[in-house]
Amino acid sequence: MIVIGCDPGSRRFGLAVLEDREGTIRMLHSETISLLHADLQQRMHTLWHKLEAILPRFPLDASALEEGFLGVNARSQNVLAQVRGLVMASMIHHSIPLTLYSPRTVKQAVSGNGNAAKDQVQRVMERLLNLAGGVYGEDETDAMAVAYCHLLSRPRGHASGERRLMPGRRS
């Protein structure tokens, strides 16, 4: 199974493509998409075109996206909701089933601690995927964690903290 994990951000967007082959999980691709344009519309344009370039490169079976958490800044939450909406639209456009995971569920799945700090998640992902330390940014390792969480949770079905938006496989 090949899954893309996404860590949405309005300035930096992490993504990672992981493959599970007979119980061995390895990373096929990861990157941080820089969205430093001042204008939201331009950032969304850049993200859409980056996803359109990446998604066809891999025979993806599924996608996983981290849900937002409730923050104090309503404007930031609104922008992140728009980013997640764009990702959802892209996955629908490519007929890739999408599952949403809460940040707590992702952290619990990969580190055993739902309150793990970003640097802890980063170290765990480097160890789990046998990656060189310090090479990958937090956004990329967070995306790896989302994809890894999906690969761990799929045999058990719907874990708490996940919402499946497009059931079944793509045709």
Q: Which residues are tagged catalytic?
A: 7, 66, 139
Dihedral, 39, 43, 45, 51 alpha carbons, nearest 10: 180
Output helix, strand, coil percentages for the chain, rounded to the nearest 5.
Answer: 45, 25, 30
Q: 25 Cβ partners below 8 Å, 6+ apart?
A: 18, 19, 128, 129, 148, 151
Lookup: tokens for 71: 């923050």
